[in-house]
A and B are shown apart, each in its own frame.
Chain A
Amino acid sequence: MSQAVRGISAPFATLGAAFLGFVGELGALAIFFLDSLRLVFAGWGQFAKIIRQIYFIGVQSISVIALIGGFAGMVMGMQLYFALSIFGADGFLGAGVGLSMVRELAPVLTAIMLAGRAGSAMTAEIGVMRISEQIDALTIMDINPMRYLVAPKMAACIISFPILTTFFNLIAISGGWLTGVKLLGANEGVYWSRVQESLSWSDIEGGLIKSLVFACIVCTICCFEGYFTHTRKGHVGPEGVSQSTTSAVVKACVVTLASDYILTSILW
């Protein structure tokens, strides 16, 4: 091949290699997700591990979710009140806060918070186990590491995310009431009746479907990054684990937001 042809084809070759790498990783992620989902139901022994993970991912995240939900609702209540007052439509404050929280902000912010709090811990835990040969030890003992480590986390995420999203909704709508009604003077009865009227079952269902999808995304990406931390090029040992943890949180947040757009387009 001549120098000129090589020069012209080089960018395409780089692009092609990057695309093939992306498709390969996407395939590996899909297999990883399906494998962990299948192993959730691998015997009663999983039950205790799932409960422990629900405690870590779900129960221990309640305070953070309450804090974020409260402030998100308060900001939303304040901003919407000012915007709606311009048009004399502050009576729609409850509808605005309710719909934006239930359809969008609660599932997305819950997923992002959990990616940061629990997802990073999952990546670091599995990554450290990988570099300290603990995963090899499990394999040698004929204990499937996917079943032992990843499947309980997947089950716990699938159970915890929708519950925490619902909790976020309750706190955020109350936060909107606190600023909109108690601080700025919107009518309390109108606020709550608008919340009730504007929210249909399809809105709540859509929000919960989103939270389920986000649970799978966050758990798969975070566990995958930790599990294959030893294959990172140029970063080995503890440095590799820290790189994997950063990468897992960033990827989980980006994919969550991208899939939120797709899900919103499909659901409503």
Chain B
Amino acid sequence: MTKAPGIRTQNLSIGYGGVPVASDLDLQMPAGKVTVVVGGSGCGKSTLIKHILRLHDPIEGRVFVGDHEVHSLSGKAARCFKQRMGVLFQDGALLGSLTIADNLALPLREHTRLKDPEILEIVRNKLQLVGLEGTDAKYPTELSGGMRKRAGLARALVMDPQVLFCDEPTSGLDPILSAELDHLLLEMMSHFDMTMIVVSHDLASMRAIADHVVLLGDGRCLFQGSVEELDASEDVYLRRFLDRLPEERTTPRLTMPALDPSKLKIDCSRLLD
């Protein structure tokens, strides 16, 4: 029996400055499972996470984490809510002025009465968990992109969250590093009792880690269910998304014969010396 909460949204409209990005979202993200939110660029995947995390207020509708309505929490309940959430941001979002160890120690120093040696022990354990032993004294700029993501993951896990959000964890990584990070996320799921919400447009990554898929597009939820159900779907948009087919245009596509090829080239004699 998992203690990690599930997440559901009710008639949720998300957006910025009153302009909706996606509306009428009635989503279910099951407890103790990995839900992958996929969709095209700008469809509101990251915006959805920010609304669930209370970084923005919804235009309409409600978000529930477990039995708690997220946006009605205040005072101590709101603080408890935040401390139960872990977030891996797209580029790690590690504080540039702190070392990796201090980045991980920050929430522990702010929210616990643990002594420094105990904090450092936890920090070392979490870094070991993500395979970053020996990077304690390094600054984020001294790490590669993949290492920064893993350090960001270690920081997200440092308070033992019940829900872990990952915003595009594999973006900017080569296929091998992406596969390693997917493997790491699944390992984390087996170590910790938590619900994981991953935003991605990496279909290979989705297939590797998802128990549940939410597909956003056209300002609404187009699909939610298992990967098998998604693969079996005959919906035109879903097929196009899964098979990576470009959208059909109503305007004529720009083709080479329509252009004068000489106008596409730069006259070398006009280049500066």
Q: Interface of A with B (CB < 8 Å)?
A: 45, 125, 128-129, 132-134, 136-143
Residue in B closest to A140 when the chains form the complex, CB atoms: B87
Contact A132 B93 (CB under 8 A): yes
A-B complex: 10 closest residue pairs judged by Cβ atoms: A142-B82, A137-B93, A133-B93, A141-B107, A133-B89, A140-B87, A134-B93, A143-B110, A142-B79, A134-B95
A41–B54 Cα distance when bound, in Å, is: 26
Contact A140 B91 (CB under 8 A): no
* Residue interface mask B80-113, A partner, CB < 8 A = 1: 0011010101110111110000000011011100
Most buried by B among A133, A138, A140: A140
Q: List 28 A-B contacts (CB under 8 A).
A: A45-B109, A128-B96, A129-B95, A132-B91, A132-B96, A133-B89, A133-B93, A134-B94, A134-B95, A136-B50, A136-B55, A136-B93, A137-B87, A137-B89, A139-B55, A140-B53, A140-B82, A140-B85, A140-B87, A141-B106, A141-B159, A142-B79, A142-B82, A142-B83, A142-B107, A142-B110, A142-B111, A143-B107
A133–B50 Cα distance when bound, in Å, is: 11
Q: Kindly provide the distance from the CB of A215 to the nearest chain B CB, expressed in whole angstroms.
A: 22
- Residues from chain A with Cβ under 8 Å of B159 in the complex: 141
Q: Kindly provide the distance from the CB of A198 to the nearest chain B CB, expressed in whole angstroms.
A: 46
Contact A141 B93 (CB under 8 A): no
- Residues from chain B with Cβ under 8 Å of A140 in the complex: 53, 55, 82, 85, 87
- Residues from chain A with Cβ under 8 Å of B96 in the complex: 128-129, 132, 134
- Residues from chain A with Cβ under 8 Å of B111 in the complex: 142
A133–B109 Cα distance when bound, in Å, is: 21
Contact B110 A133 (CB under 8 A): no
Q: Which of B79, B89, B109 contacts A136 (CB 8 A)?
A: B89
A140–B54 Cα distance when bound, in Å, is: 9
Residue in B closest to A141 when the chains form the complex, CB atoms: B107
Q: Which of B85, B90, B97 contacts A133 (CB 8 A)?
A: B90
A133–B87 Cα distance when bound, in Å, is: 11
* Residue interface mask B168-204, A partner, CB < 8 A = 1: 0000000000000000000000000000000000000
Most buried by B among A132, A133, A138, A139: A133
Residue in B closest to A52 when the chains form the complex, CB atoms: B97
- Residues from chain B with Cβ under 8 Å of A125 in the complex: 97
A140–B93 Cα distance when bound, in Å, is: 11
Residue in A closest to B86 when the chains form the complex, CB atoms: A140
- Residues from chain B with Cβ under 8 Å of A142 in the complex: 79, 82-83, 107, 110-111
- Residues from chain A with Cβ under 8 Å of B110 in the complex: 45, 141-143
Residue in B closest to A133 when the chains form the complex, CB atoms: B93
With A134-B96, A136-B55: A141-B91 Cβ-Cβ less than 8 Å: no
- Residues from chain A with Cβ under 8 Å of B53 in the complex: 140
With A139-B55, A141-B110: A133-B82 Cβ-Cβ less than 8 Å: no
Most buried by B among A132, A142, A143: A142
A211–B109 Cα distance when bound, in Å, is: 35
Known contacts A129-B96, A132-B96, A140-B82; 17 further A-B pairs (Cβ under 8 A): A45-B109, A45-B110, A132-B93, A133-B90, A134-B93, A134-B95, A134-B96, A136-B55, A137-B87, A137-B95, A138-B95, A140-B53, A140-B55, A141-B106, A141-B107, A141-B110, A142-B83
